[in-house]
Structure 1
Amino acid sequence: MNSASGASAPGHQGRRTKAKDPAAAHDRRLLRDMLLIRRFEERCVELYSAAAIRGFVHLYIGEEAVAVGVHQALTEQDAVVSTYREHGHALARGVPPEAVMAEMYGRVTGCSRGRGGSMHLFEPGRRFYGGNAIVAGGLPLAAGLALADRMRGGDQVTCCFFGDGAFAEGEFHETANLAALWGLPVLFVCENNLYAMGTALAREHAQTDLAMRAASYGMAAWAVDGMDVRAVERAARSAVTSIRAGNGPHFLEARTYRFRAHSMYDPDRYRPKDEIAEWKRHDPVTGLTEALRASGRLTSGRLKKLEREVTEEVEAAVEAAGRAPEEPVDDLLRHVTGRDEEES
């Protein structure tokens, strides 16, 4: 008998095939992406302590929901501009963990050939333009990229991540004004983690509602819970859809929190311990995990599998970085502005 008669297919007698749940699969993917960032960053802490990674390192632990949620709304044709706290952005963008870790190690197989390190991840093939060490330095670049894309045609969006500290810089206000004036397709994502290095938001800004202030430039702007990856995704999709429709730049204030100090050098004495503990109760990774388990869309076995896959992926990146060569001394003058022009 054929399947229309109600008989089971050959080899599946007596078993029912579970219906696929695309929404559940998508949420599990969000969880996996956040887990990858979290475990990558935790491994970086260990490697930094062992002196395998040197220089400045700014961890993204606690803020994973912002990068992962926003990237759900972006395509490969869109551009992303980041800050010096960009490991999570790079991984969410699809830069391979091996290339990111090799860059952390200063090896030639890194996405910036080992020249940039933690603060200068760069992958033009994925339209990932920094890693910028200067606070607010990526904002004017985002406006330029958006203008170039619009002049070439198409509906590409430039997404620019920056912190609340950058909001106090002139580059933000100049860029926001110009982007709104020219109707540039820019998504401004302010990762408001309440501290510009060690300066609390209320000690730096007389008006702490950053979304409201951004709206004064004539762009759509609103705040979102940056500890909820699904809320971030919904907000980002709404904003990007509107930008692609020709409605000019949009601003998202993702209210989030970094669980670690500003950098590995920071003693972190400016934040109350109870404040950190309270924010950890809203951990984006734990929150989504518990929600999925409560709804029956994530079993213990599947969670263990996700953890195992992510751990293996990070360890493979560490091993590859450890084996990778350093850049030859003879190549150190290559790719230097002006030098290549002189030799050509």
Structure 2
Amino acid sequence: MSAATGSSATAFFAVTAKPNDALDDTAGIQGKIDAAGAAGGGIVKMPAGTFIIDGKLRMASNVRLEGAGPETVLKAGPNFLNNTGPAGGYPIVTTAGANNTTLTNFTADQSGDTLNGNVAGRLSEYAVDVRDSRNSLVKGIHTKNPFTYSIAFVGGSNWCVKDSSTQSETNGKYTELDGIHAMNTAHGDIVGNVVDQRKGTDGDDGIAVHTFGTEDAHDIRIVNNNVRGGRHGAGIDLAGGSGVIYNIDLNGNTVWGSPRGLEDAYYDGTKQMHHIKVVGNNFRDNDIKSVGGAVDFERAVTYVTMTDNLACNSGGYRLPAGTGNTSLRNTQTTLC
């Protein structure tokens, strides 16, 4: 749905900052991103090891920021809270309007377990922050110790997050720790990720599609993800308001161990969601065992297709009567 390919640049810009030395590496990595951007694009390659980030990395258009795998760690340092990103928050890395970017093969550790992230602007930017950008690819990114949303897409269009993971492990420190969050954005793919917001007690929604203000969120595909939502949220949350959520395709996901599987929620308005497909998903071992434990459209919706889903030890399905709504071949069992 996104057609996102990310950066197509081929020139290499090797990061020479030394990992594992406890020194701030922000300038060393940012310098290579800036050089690649000035050259019209490039691959900024980072080796394995832990890089301390006390600043905020900002992508340039046509740049690919690439690690060696999960063992390349961008870790918020002891002075990370002393400055903010361009939107007033605390991202490890933000696209901030850059187009044709790729973030791949590294771990982003926001250090929320050791820092006190309860600061002004905590929810203004996010650990991995794709913002107001087009053609953005996030692949093989792993997040740890968040004090805000882990991987977020805000505004912009044509983005994809795949083969990535999030986790929330803190207890009693934070609220609103969503895993993958798409807000006021369009034409996105959330595919093949592992989201676990319930290793600790602070986690919120596993995957959320959200409108805030009057902007819409639409044409988003959520496919083949393994999701556990935190105790403050749901596995997957369609969070509407004054903007409309529409053209959402949820297919082949496994949602487990969450308070509820899939739900709708409303925050700053009541615009009706429409054209939602919930097909072939597996909801298992979620907390609510009654109607709506697996799927809960609590308010009026239209053109919702809910077919061929399986709910085991997770309650059942709620879909109000409405124009174009269809519910067929959805099964419910008490044991998985």
* TM-score, reference length from structure 2: 0.23
Larger Rg belongs to:
1
Higher relative contact order (CA 8 A, sep 6+): 1
TM-score using structure 1 length: 0.23
Q: Larger helix proportion, structure 1 or 2?
A: 1
